[in-house]
Amino acid sequence: MSCESSVDTSTVDRFDLNKYLGIWYEVARYDHSFERGMDNTIAQYILQDDGTVAVINSGWKNGKYQIAEGKAKYPDPEGNQGALKVSFFLFFYSEYNIMMVDENYQMSLVGSKSENYLWILSRTPEPDPVLLGMMLEEAADRGYDIDQLIWVDQSRNM
């Protein structure tokens, strides 16, 4: 039995971290325990003096505002690939693979090495329908089951 993923999690080439920094609204995601039941979810990426990226995830769950703070490393800035390592728990880092980003950095498709994680992020709470369609098509072409996506309520952020 193979442990290989049945989805293509390869990252974008010619990735510009500086253009990726800032606020991203979570449009859709696969279900997973650490965000289960959350809505109005936002991710913010801030470059630090030491070259790492502060990661601030926030959202609402059961009427309560929650924040998780972590950090990301960009292991190969010279390679210009969209592969980050993100940690919310001391020294345990997970892959954060930017698999697609539009040319203006308004929407992105993010996964990890595991086929169990998928996010669609947008710079606005209401994503451009054309860009959203592109992200969904890319996810499906890579082997992700887009019918399993949970659509995130962003009504508090409108």
In order, the DSSP letters of 94-107 are EEEEEEEE-TTSSE
Q: What value does the mean pLDDT of the chain take? A: 94
pLDDT band at residue 89, thresholds of 50, 70 and 90?
Answer: confident
Length of the chain, in residues: 158
97 confidence band (pLDDT: 50, 70, 90): very high
Report residue 76's pLDDT band, with 50, 70 and 90 as the boundaries: confident
Say yes or no to pLDDT of 146 above 70: yes
Q: Can you give the pTM of this predicted structure?
A: 0.93
- The burial class, CB within 10 Å (0-12 / 13-18 / 19+), for 110 is buried
Whether pLDDT at 150 is above 60: yes
Per-residue pLDDT averaged across 99-113, rounded?
97
E strands, the chain, are 22-29, 38-47, 53-61, 64-73, 83-89, 92-101, 107-111, 118-122, 150-151
Question: 1-36, pLDDT tens digit by residue?
Answer: 445 679 999 999 999 999 999 999 999 999 999 999
Domains of the chain: 17-151 (2.40.128.20)
75 vs 110: which has the higher pLDDT = 110
DSSP state letter for 146: G
